Amino acid sequence: MKYVLIGNSAAAVGCIEGIRQQDKNGEIVVVADEPYHTYSRPAISYLLCGKTTEERMKYRPGDFYQKMNCTVMLGRKATRIEPREKWLLLEDGTVVEYDKLLAAAGSRPFIPEIEGLAGVSERHTFMSLDDAKALDAALKADSRVLILGAGLIGLKCAEGIAHKVGKIDVIDLAPAILSSILDAEAARPVQEHMESQGIHFHLSDGVQEFKGNTAVLSSGKEIGFDVLVAAVGVRPNVELAQKAGIEARRGIVTDERCRTSLPDIYAAGDCTESYDITTGESRPLALLPNAYMQGECAGINMAGGSKEYDKAIPMNAIGFFGLHMITAGSYDGERFIRKSGRDYKMLVSENGVLKGFILIGDVARAGIYTALVRERTPLETIDYELIREKPQLMAFSRKERDKKLGGAAG
C-alpha cells in the first residue's frame, strides 16, 4: 500500500501516526511546498521574540520521518491530482502514484483589496516560518509597524515583534479585539493588558486606502508606518482538490471518517470543513488540535482501521505578554460569569450541557471544562455548581472519576 500526503503540518503528522498504528510497512510519501521539517506554526511569534529556536519549533523530533519510514519531498509543490489513474503531478513534472491520498494543504492568508496596497513596499503576512523570517529582516529598532487585524494572528505578531520596533498600531473593523474567540466583556481586560505593553488599537475602523506609507482610515485618521502586516484572516487551500472534482464549499467536504467525495482520497486540517458539535454547523476550524485529530482519523481509516472524527470544537489555548487564556465551544446559551482582577471566567450552558467557556488569567485544569464540552456530558450527572466555581474531579460521580483516572474500563 502506498500512501501519499499533500502537506507537512499537524494534520499530516496525525495521518502518518494514524497510518503506522495500523500499517507498519506501507510506503508513505510526504509532499510539501515548504522546505522545512514539520514545525509548529503558532510558535513563529516565539521565534521572533527569542523564546524559541527553529530546532525547538519542530512539531516532531528530527528523526521523525526516519522512524516512521517516510519518504519526504519537501519544497515540492503539487499542481494536479488525477483521481482516476491515482497519481499526483508536481510542479517540476514529477509524477507520484498513490493508492490512498491525503489532502492536507492547509490555508493561506487572506489579502484584502484596498486601494494603494500594491504600492506598499514592505508588506508582509504572518502564517509561516518564511513569513516570520521575512518580517524579521524588515524590522529596525525605530520601525513603525501597522498590523491589519486584531485577531489571533495579528496579536501574536504584535507580541512577537514588540521588543524589536518603535511603534505598533493595530486596526480592526470589529469593535473589540479577538472577536472570533472572546465576547466584548472578556476582550476588554486583554486589550488593556496589551495596551500596557505599548500596543495601540484602532477598532471599529478600517483602511480606506494607502497613500505610500500612510494608511487613510474610514474614520479619517491617518497612520504612518514603515512595515505593514496583513493578518485579517485565512482561506482554506481547496483549489487543487476542486480541480480534481472533490467537493468543497468553504473547505473540502469530508465525512466522519475524513473521506472526501472521491474514492481513496481523504482530507484533514485547515483546508477542510469540520462539523462543530457546539453549533451544529460545518465550517473550517483552523486549529492545530483539531487538525491533528482529523489527520490521525484519516490515517487510521486509510490504513484499513476504523475511526470517526465527530467531536470537533473550536478551541484555543493562547497567551499575550504573560496573560494566558483558553476558550472553547460557542457562547449562545445561559452564561455564568466570574471576574476577579485580571481573571475572567465565562461558562455557557444550553439544553443541559456545557456549550463553551472562556478562561482568562487562571486557566488551571481547563481540560475538565473542555472534556465536558467535547463529550456533551449531561450537567445533571455532575455537581455543576461545584465545577463552575472550580474545575475538579470531585464534581463527578465516583464511577466517572474512576473512568477519567483510568481506574475503570469503558
Q: How is residue 266 annotated by DSSP?
A: E
Sketch out the chain's domains with CATH numbers. 2-108+235-302 (3.50.50.60), 117-232 (3.50.50.60), 322-404 (3.30.390.30)
> CB-based burial of residue 180 (10 Å sphere; 0-12 exposed, 13-18 middle, 19+ buried)?
exposed
* pTM check: above 0.75: yes
For residue 142, give the amino acid letter: D
Q: How confident is the model at residue 399, as a pLDDT?
A: 63
Work out the percent of the chain whose per-residue pLDDT is above 70: 95
| SS3 of residue 259 by DSSP | strand
* pLDDT tens for each residue of 183-202: 999 999 999 999 999 999 99
Q: What residues are paired with 230 via a beta bridge?
A: 148
Sheet holding 123-124, edge to edge: 123-124, 227-230, 144-148, 167-172, 199-203
Q: How confident is the model at residue 154, as a pLDDT?
A: 98
With cell 506609507, the residue in question is 213
8 Å CB contact between 329 and 278: yes
- 78 membership: H or E segment, kind and range: strand 78-82
Q: At what angle do helices 288-302 and 10-22 cross, to 10 degrees?
A: 30
- 121 membership: H or E segment, kind and range: none
- Cβ neighbours of residue 223 under 8 Å, at least 6 residues apart? 146, 169, 171, 202, 214, 215, 217
- Cβ neighbours of residue 137 under 8 Å, at least 6 residues apart? none
> In the structure grid, which three cell numbers stand for residue 253, read together?
467536504
* pLDDT tens for each residue of 289-311: 999 999 999 999 999 999 999 98
Spatial CA neighbour of 147 closest among 171, 116, 128, 127: 171
